[in-house]
Structure 1
């Protein structure tokens, strides 16, 4: 009787046969190059989207600027409206109208006072400027440059010829100025109209905007928007304080030197200081030129010292401590932001660049887990709330209730799927 045959031992897995059709050559493009290429085309897409957004804003700049100004007016006048409601017992609509009319009257009175000073002092300034030009001509003829009368006449003739040859450009510039004035007037009316409704129905408008977002993002967007609003308010109030200090300082210096047009110069410095760093320097230079034309080099140097002193106060005290605390931006970041805004959109870009960057900084930090205003918590108080009209309170509460009901419905559905047809639950 022969022994049983032992069955052959089969391998655990079949042998891997070489695939002669597959390429065994290494990838000629390194992984780092592929990664950089992926980042590059995505960056180009992002830049293209930003460029399209900038182009759209430029095409609608009258409306965009009007809405931006309306937001600044709203954040400035909201405490006034709340005070009128609390202390004077005015309705919301009446309080908003009174606050807006009071602001318009204050600005109009300031401009009227400056215009009256210009009308009264322009004749004196012209006489002093003519004497200064005569002294300058004498210095050019008798000073180290030794320019004779004939040379001066030649240069004046060349200036006249250049002005005559550019008459068409001057006419087109005047037409452009007329169009710009029309745009400014239209934008001003739109800004005042929008600001009035922001003050009256700001919470309802904000609730509508929040309602456009997906349900899961509404609460985070609402809290981020609250913090951005607080940052915008802090920037506006701080910038008004800085502009007032600049105007008072340079105005006191001009009054001490007994320069003409002191009030218009102070008003010009005040409005120019809303462009951080750059505005006060440019408007202060005008005060130095007025001192040079009317009183000579000594007064001009003293006025220049006053402007530099005020700028040092702003740059070393007001901007780092007040503005830096309000917007949490380093002075270098503020300067670069103003420069970039002016390069992209001129004076409007320089004016709105810092508040836009400050708000974006606050919102992005909050969305990434860094809350600049933890004292706000998650309660539903916002600066533009209307007492007795909590629209956003109801919107957020309704969203939370709907989310809770949807979660309960999903739980009931899951429980129903786990039950048997007889009704007894399946043991997990």
Structure 2
């Protein structure tokens, strides 16, 4: 008589439990990896933030540099003109409007606080007759959240809040911007050639598309912020002319935080008009704010963005909230462009190309198979002392054509 066979462990555990366990440890591993990356970014924040700003400035200045090159200006000179031109423009704006902005922001803050206090008084004593104690508690909670938010900002920026680190960050951003504009193609080539051979071409093509998305986001966001600032600033000029410029500047800055920034800055503008001119003027100002923001969100953004940044508004709100919780204002500013680029890259790597017009003819150039020579540039693919390229273990066996890589400022330039 044969002895009864015993079931193995896998046979006794239900299939659904095994699947749930498999998903669980994988999700835990992914969460640990994400947490490790965020921790590393926090440690290197003084470097990471300037480099991210430099990348955004590169995307912004690349069209100007390419225009100058089409006018037969050498790339080095074109880069210098673009960077110096931006610095001069920003300096001129600060010089012209700085005194008015510095003097007006204190009045703006005082009147905004007074406006919100007047609004809470109306909530307690007006037709709604809300509990004044609850309103005070909610106001205190908002104040505590603001204090906590400032702590998050200081935690995100860390030592960069000191003058020395701010200067270091500015120098890093300026230095990286210059070299991203001047030699971004070679830097990208060197980075991608560090990857395994089979991953290089897909990552290269995904990077081209990600940079198109980033370019569309940066340029559209600047134009949208400018339109919001002009519309709301002109509207507030009818009621508080002395504070119109500070309100416009505040709206311009706040518009870089999608959705949330527009709501907050619009509320501040309405509160200021409420204190200065009463309820009727405040309601008119609220109508102007809503009109500008609705025109921007339903006409301007869809027309300009198109399919470049395809993020649902719910995803935008959640991403901004997560970014602000993780790194304060810095996280809120960079959350949406990072999410948009990741969305484009991951879609391409999974077979969904948002930019089929870019094609795949622009292959990644491979670094030549040659030992590193003294005096060679690490990533440039050329030597400072001889015309040879630094070594690479891949060599020509990959079969990829050595066509020019896309420029850092315009991935689709060599379509």
Tell me the TM-score normalised to structure 1 length. 0.71
Alignment match, 2:410:
none
Q: Distance in 2 between matches of 1:374 and 1:391?
A: 29
Q: Distance in 2 between matches of 1:350 and 1:122?
A: 22
Q: Distance in 1 between matches of 2:103 and 2:35?
A: 48
Structure 1 segments unaligned to the other structure (5+ residues): 1-16, 146-165, 383-389, 406-428
Alignment match, 1:316:
298
Alignment match, 1:23:
6
How many residues are aligned here?
A: 345
Structure 2 segments unaligned to the other structure (5+ residues): 127-146, 365-379, 383-388, 401-415
Alignment of 1:2-401 (within 5 A): 18=2, 20=3, 22-23=5-6, 27-87=11-71, 89-118=72-101, 125=107, 180-182=161-163, 183-323=165-305, 325-380=307-362, 401=396
Q: Deviations over 1:300-346 (max 9, x none)?
A: 22222211222222232234443353211222222222222222221
How far residue 375 of structure 1 moved from its aligned partner, in angstroms, is: 1.0
Q: Distance in 1 between matches of 2:103 and 2:334?
A: 34
Compared CA separation, residues 323 and 334, structure 1 to 2 (3 A): farther
**8 Å Cα contact 1:76/1:236 also seen in 2:** yes
Q: CA RMSD in A?
A: 3.7
How far residue 108 of structure 1 moved from its aligned partner, in angstroms, is: 2.1
**8 Å Cα contact 1:81/1:96 also seen in 2:** yes
How far residue 269 of structure 1 moved from its aligned partner, in angstroms, is: 1.1
Compared CA separation, residues 47 and 80, structure 1 to 2 (3 A): same
How far residue 71 of structure 1 moved from its aligned partner, in angstroms, is: 0.6
What SS does the corresponding residue of 2:360 show, helix, strand or coil?
coil
Tell me the TM-score normalised to structure 2 length. 0.73
**8 Å Cα contact 2:273/2:282 also seen in 1:** yes
**8 Å Cα contact 2:212/2:308 also seen in 1:** no
Compared CA separation, residues 301 and 391, structure 1 to 2 (3 A): farther
Q: Deviations over 1:234-273 (max 9, x none)?
A: 1111111111110111011012224312122212211221
Over alpha carbons, which structure has the higher Rg?
A: 1
**8 Å Cα contact 1:259/1:294 also seen in 2:** no
Q: Distance in 2 between matches of 1:177 and 1:380?
A: 41
Q: Distance in 2 between matches of 1:144 and 1:268?
A: 31
